[in-house]
Every structure is written in C-alpha cells, then in structure tokens.
Amino acid sequence: MAGTLSKLTGVDLATVVDRAILSPEALEPLRGCVEIGEVLARLEAAGLTAEAVRVMAHALPKREGVWWACMCAANTAPPDLKEPDRLARELAEQWVRQQKDEQRRAAMQQAEASGFQSPEAWAGVAAFWSGDSMAPENLPPVPPPPNAAGAAVAGAVSLAAVRGDVKRRLGRLKRFLESGRNIAAGGPGRMPPEEP
C-alpha cells in the first residue's frame, strides 16, 4: 500500500459519517476523531468492519469509489457471471477511465437489465449516480442526491462480500478495505480473483 490516504485529504468527516448512517454503537469509538484514516482504524479495531466499508464508500471521491466497487465485484465474480452484470462492471470501469456520459448511462442500462441484483449492477449504478444528471438526456438535468453514489458503492462492496459463501464475508470485507486504502493512497486497488 502507498503511504498517506491522499485521496481522502480534505474530506469533511462529519458529512461522511452522516452519509454512512452509522449506528450509535459505531459512533461511540469515533469520539475525538479528526480524520478519515483514524475513523477507519477505530471502526476496524472495534470489530465494525461493515461500518468501516460504508465510511470508505462515502469518503472516496466518486471516481475512485466506483473503481473500488468494480475491484471488489471482480474479486468475487463467478466464472459464469451473467452478461448484463459483466457489461455493467466493464462500462463502470470505462466511465472511471474516461468519464463519458454515454458510458455511465450504458452502465445503468446494464444494471437495470440485470435486475439490480449483483455487485456489478451496483457498480454501474454508482457510475450513473456519479454524473451530473439522473434525468434522460433530452430532459433538464436532475442531479443525483449527494450521498447516492457512495450508497451505491457501499451496496456493491457489501454484495461482493456475501456472494456465494457468506462465511467469507468478514475476510472479504477486510481485504476490500485494504483495496480501498490502496486506492485512497493513489494505487490501483486491484485484487486477484478469489480462489474457489
């Protein structure tokens, strides 16, 4: 992992914690925290890994958050992944690389075609909600709510953690957080596909 979490510098801690919708139990260990890295460490130390994932999802910039969702989805993707799911993730990854409106809209179309049931679909939704408008192209812009992309990223990562064997959830979440930290530090956050 690279050094500092440079992509999280300047993040408004109160806004992120509010958007992550943490329980009173999760808020307790955060008293006195002044930066996101400390929040993540305290949540993990308290055994609140899922809450740390939600904080990371809302703390990362949108582009990096979508990439993280894609990396987590790819990590647990089965060999027989359905075509709409695969395309949703691929289009979300393309949006991260090029930030073109047609790619984020196509990612949302594939997410819809998949029935919004997979981590890949929610990565596609996250890409779509990272844009300027949720309205069809020929209508006046309707900006997504400010917490929408982060919520979709959190959903994608959480779904990737429970795909297939739910008993692997905690280990996956810990691995995903390391990937998120790597991305926050300017790295690629890639993980090899999970062993069956």
Residue 2: the pLDDT is: 42
Does residue 194 belong to any structural domain of this protein? no
Measured CA to CA, the distance from residue 120 to residue 141 in angstroms comes to 25
> Which pTM value belongs to this model?
0.96
Instruction: Establish if 117 belongs to a structural domain.
Output: yes
9-17-62-3 Cα dihedral, nearest 10 degrees: 30
pLDDT of 195 = 84
CB 152 within 8 A of CB 122: yes
* Predicted pLDDT of residue 4: 86
When divided into structural domains, the chain yields a total of 1
pLDDT, residue 1, reads 38
pLDDT of residue 117: 96
Q: Decide if 153 is inside a domain.
A: yes
The pLDDT of residue 196 is: 76
Q: What is the DSSP letter of 144?
A: P
What is the structure's pLDDT at 3?
A: 58
The span from the CA of 105 to the CA of 128, in Å, is: 6
Asked if residue 100 belongs to a domain, the reply is: yes
Q: Does 195 fall in a domain?
A: no
Q: Is residue 174 part of a domain?
A: yes
Among left, alpha and beta (phi > 0; psi -120 to 50; other), residue 15 is alpha
Residue 12's domain spans which residues? 1-189
Whole-angstrom distance, CA of residue 137 vs CA of residue 156: 25
Does a structural domain hold residue 196?
A: no
- pLDDT tens digits, the chain, 196 residues: what are they? 345 889 998 899 999 999 999 999 999 999 999 999 999 999 999 999 999 999 999 999 999 999 999 999 999 999 999 999 999 999 999 999 999 999 999 999 999 999 999 999 999 999 999 999 999 999 999 999 999 999 999 999 999 999 999 999 999 999 999 999 999 999 999 999 998 7
